[in-house]
Amino acid sequence: MAHSYSSSAILTTTIKFCLLFSLLLGMVSAQLSPTFYATSCPNALSTINSAVNSAVSSEKRMGASLLRLHFHDCFVNGCDASVLLDDNSTFTGEKTAVPNNNSLRGFNVVDTIKSQLENICPGVVSCADILAVAARDSVVALGGTNWTVQLGRRDSTTASLSAANSNIPAPTLNLSGLLSAFSNKGFTAKELVALSGSHTIGQARCTVFRTRIYNETNINSSFATSLKSNCPSTGGDNNLAPLDLTSPTSFDNAYFKNLISNKGLLHSDQQLFNGGSTDSQVNAYSSNSASFLTDFANAMVKMGNLSPLTGTSGQIRTNCRKAN
């Protein structure tokens, strides 16, 4: 009897431990919730939405800029608004990293949103959540798909220049490098292609696509010629061209149709359709807009779940540019 009692007691304890362990494992995802601000700041989402709509109606490009801020935030130590921190005496932030310097924009829009939220709910809504919601609202404002944003991220107190330089996929990457960069963050090849579809909006600087239009052969010749007038072989580094020449301010599947015509602006864009493993997915999205939009939305939710700070980790910054 004593033996059976101790066995069952051990089993019960083991089951309790396993349940507790499972509960702890699930806590990070459980702490993100679409209703996180329902009582603490019920007007948070509508405030962000109004500000994004206003900014995008003033300048369509801002939608792409806000979407990109969220991406460049999440790929560097998780979605913690580290990308928004200015340099200080303790660290050099991410704003001057190679992928971000003279390139990331939209900080003023985030500042405006943050000050509006601080007026109605001081110390409640994180900068990281502002980025996540603004990204979704930007896509919707430009005619794209909607999705439910999980909320409850908190803000980091530090940033990493080196992590930004090493984690954000470069426009010069070949397909293998892209697959690896996204795989490192838990994304499949299909999700890489879906997320790359964000290049259906936004613009790129001449310095980023110059090599492609002058030196590469897997590019439509008339497309290359049309770009050279605004992107000379020397000079004009900051001259802009739309990533999607067809419908540059509409969130649609034209990006994939462009790739099939060898009209990808960036080297990394055209790598997705260049005789490799992702060609079939580009073909699929080019002929089925609905599947692209669904997969994009799901991949954005997944990206928003990259290593968030929750609970008592991090803080809620009062000013998104500096720790409290």
Instruction: Read off the pLDDT of residues 21-30 as tens digits, 9 standing for 90 and up.
Output: 444 444 444 4
Distance CA 317, CA 126 (A): 6
Summarize the annotated binding site for Ca(2+) as residue ranges: 73, 76, 78, 80, 82, 94, 200, 244, 252
Q: Do 237 and 287 share a domain, yes or no?
A: yes
Claim to verify: residue 279 and residue 219 sit in the same structural domain: yes
The reply to whether 267 belongs to the active site is no
Handedness of CA 133, 158, 25, 72 (dihedral sign): positive
295 with 183, same domain: the answer is: yes
Reduced DSSP (H G I as helix, E B as strand, rest coil) percent helix, strand, coil of the chain, to 5: 55, 5, 40
Burial of 221 (0-12, 13-18, 19+ CB in 10 A): exposed
Residue ending a domain, among 117, 147, 168, is 168
Provide the token pair at 94.
Answer: 């991410």
Mean pLDDT throughout 47-65? Answer: 98
Residue 166 has pLDDT above 80, yes or no: yes
Q: Is residue 209 a part of any domain in this protein?
A: yes
- Domains identified in the chain, total number: 2
Check residue 194 and give its pLDDT.
98
Domain limits for position 207: 175-303
Catalytic annotation, pick one of 3, 70, 72, 267: 72
Q: Are strands 203-205 and 240-242 parallel, antiparallel or unpaired?
A: antiparallel
Kindly state whether residues 292 and 179 are assigned to the same domain.
yes
Alpha carbon distances (Å) from 178 to 144, 151, 181, 215, 256: 24, 28, 5, 21, 17
- Same domain for 180 and 294, yes or no, is yes
pLDDT tens-digit series, residues 95-130: 999 999 999 999 999 999 999 999 999 999 999 999
This prediction's pTM: 0.91
pLDDT at 31: 82
Pick out the residues of the known binding site for substrate.
Answer: 169
Say if residue 195 is in the same domain as residue 296.
Answer: yes
CATH of the domain at 147: 1.10.520.10
CA dist., res. 319 & res. 324, Å (int): 7
CATH of the domain at 259: 1.10.420.10
Assigned token pair, 15? 């089951």
